[in-house]
Amino acid sequence: MSRTAETVWKNCLLFIKDNITDQAYITWFQPIKAVRLEKGILSIQVPSKFFYEWLEEHYVKLLKISLTKELGKNAKLVYIIKMENTYGKKQPFTEKIPSSQREKVSSQEVDVPIRNKDPKLKNPFVIPGIRNLKIDSQLNHSYSFDNFLEGESNRLARSAGKAVANKPGGTSFNPLLIFGGVGLGKTHLVHAIGVEIKDKHPHKTVLYITAEKFSQQYQEAIRKNNRNDFIHFYQIIDILIVDDIQMLSGKPGTQDVFFHIFNHLHQNGKQVILTSDKSPVDMQDIEQRLLSRFKWGLSAKLDVPDYETRLKIIHNKLYRDGVEIPEDVIEYVGKNIKTNIRELEGAIISLIAHSSFNKEEITLESAKAIVENYVRNTKKEVSIDYIQKVVSDYFQMDVKTLQSKTRKRHIVQARQLAMFFSKKLTKASLASIGAQIGQRDHATVLHACKTVNNLASTDKKFKQYVVDLEKQLSI
């Protein structure tokens, strides 16, 4: 019976899975696809050059053992890099596939650089009337790597950030996408990268901007008929940092201009750094051509810090503020505030303020009262997925039913309520909300919100639905 690339790789994966953690297996091996098997040479496809380099650095021995078990001591492994079509320099037991056999990734996208006809550069950050073309980086210098403490929850993202700061545009981490929930340090980390780049490479132009601000600037450029000037300005940036890139969702014009800017920067060896509240595969209403580019480099997740990291964060905060707190209080805070770093530091600030204003020492008892009150009054961050789940459970249906095309009255009302609360409790655009709730358009979401407001003021039973759901969503 002849063996195929898929069966050989499947057997290799069974061996590999038994020798690494589940998370490492999911991250580094599940995305790999077996391509071909010829004369003891197995070709596998990996998503990026970074993937290739990481496998060679961390798992090459494991790969070699597993492949040798399947194909014998003369087994060879060939990488086909899906996005970049290039190969790394270091190949302990792997080899380059002959150029005649390489798989080429076709693309229908052609980037035509838009050049500025006006030699005078118009800087969106220059106040009108002030003749100054110096670009302010918009960085917060209080955010640094020194006060971004390393832990299991952020080690990959922090290490990648340091590598980018040392050699912007010269690593495989381009773009570098940092993603994770609210308050976990995404903005802090990208500012720290920018600050360190400015320190180590003062000649490079660094710019930090939120996606929302970028979109506003673009709309202003369209209104003033200077789109090309806007594009040309961003094309001269060496390191572009865009915070909350998911906010481009549902804005096709802004996505298109960002696509051109991204291509120009990437092709010219410039560095792009992005943050998002979700990974590229979970982004809604973002064009596929942009999502594919977000995956070219490294997507690194920031998780909720573990207990040991939370303690380090508290100690560091107290040290920087010159404050001493009993160790039992520190441990209590670390154990009970687990949501994110922002809340953790906020609780410490509350404790210090309470002690200062009341001229009392901080005790475990006073800390318990403050922390309990702080946690109880901290507004819960909700997602569109969470809202759909709560609404579906309330009306005793599953989420698929809520998202379906059916026009049954109770299902339509449930769907409209989900849209209403998504608009009220999240920062997502109408288009993004519609896309996530059954692939509707923004007009449908707007109609749903108006309908809920009207029914809540005229229908007592429907008003009760709104009241009940508000309680469950902890508004």
- 241: domain CATH number? 3.40.50.300
At 262, the pLDDT band (50, 70, 90 cuts) reads very high
At 54, the pLDDT band (50, 70, 90 cuts) reads confident
Q: Is there a single domain that holds both residue 427 and residue 367?
A: no
End-to-end CA distance of the chain: 63
Q: Is there a single domain that holds both residue 164 and residue 293?
A: yes
Find the domain containing 426 and state its range.
Answer: 384-472
Cβ atoms of 62 and 69 within 8 Å: the answer is: no
Note whether residue 214 is domain-resident.
yes
Three-state secondary-structure class, residue 148: coil
Note whether residue 144 is domain-resident.
no
Strand pairing partners for 274?
A: 177, 242
What was the pLDDT predicted at 250?
80
Q: Is there a single domain that holds both residue 298 and residue 163?
A: yes
Give the domain-ending residue among 269, 302, 335. 302
Cβ atoms of 283 and 181 within 8 Å: the answer is: no
List, for residues 13-28, the tens digit of each pLDDT value.
Answer: 998 988 887 777 887 8
C-alpha radius of gyration, the chain, whole number: 26
Q: Is there a single domain that holds both residue 403 and residue 368?
A: no
Give the domain-ending residue among 260, 281, 302. 302
Cβ atoms of 445 and 435 within 8 Å: the answer is: no
Cβ atoms of 173 and 51 within 8 Å: the answer is: no
Note whether residue 129 is domain-resident.
no
Q: How many CA atoms lie within 13 A of 413 on its CB side?
A: 18
Q: Is there a single domain that holds both residue 163 and residue 223?
A: yes
List, for residues 85-135, the tens digit of each pLDDT value.
Answer: 333 333 434 443 333 333 333 222 222 233 333 333 445 544 333 334 467
List, for residues 159-199, the tens digit of each pLDDT value.
Answer: 999 999 999 988 889 899 999 877 788 999 999 999 999 99
Range with the lowest mean pLDDT among 40-49, 87-96, 378-387? 87-96
Which tokens belong to 110?
């052609």
Three-state secondary-structure class, residue 85: coil
Q: Is there a single domain that holds both residue 94 and residue 59?
A: yes
What was the pLDDT predicted at 230?
87
Q: Is there a single domain that holds both residue 167 and residue 235?
A: yes
Note whether residue 108 is domain-resident.
no
Is the bond preceding 175 in cis, omega lying within 30 degrees of 0?
yes
Note whether residue 115 is domain-resident.
no
Note whether residue 150 is domain-resident.
no
Give the domain-ending residue among 302, 330, 346. 302
What was the pLDDT predicted at 101?
37
* pTM, 2 dp: 0.52
E-only strand ranges, 239-379: 239-243, 271-276, 298-302
Q: Is there a single domain that holds both residue 239 and residue 370?
A: no
What was the pLDDT predicted at 240?
96
Q: Is there a single domain that holds both residue 278 and residue 357?
A: no
The span from the CA of 187 to the CA of 202, in Å, is 21
Cβ atoms of 240 and 264 within 8 Å: the answer is: no
List, for residues 302-338, the tens digit of each pLDDT value.
Answer: 887 777 878 877 777 777 767 777 788 888 877 777 7
> How many separate domains does the chain show?
4
Q: Is there a single domain that holds both residue 80 and residue 189?
A: no
Q: Is there a single domain that holds both residue 371 and residue 393?
A: no
Cβ atoms of 96 and 78 within 8 Å: the answer is: yes
Note whether residue 256 is domain-resident.
yes
Cβ atoms of 469 and 417 within 8 Å: the answer is: yes
Q: Is there a single domain that holds both residue 231 and residue 337?
A: no
DSSP string, 104-131: P--------PPPPSSSSPPPTTSPTT--
Is pLDDT at 77 greater than 80 in this prediction? yes
Q: Which residue has the higher pLDDT, 280 or 475?
A: 280
Note whether residue 463 is domain-resident.
yes
Is pLDDT at 385 greater than 50 in this prediction? yes
The span from the CA of 239 to the CA of 242, in Å, is 10
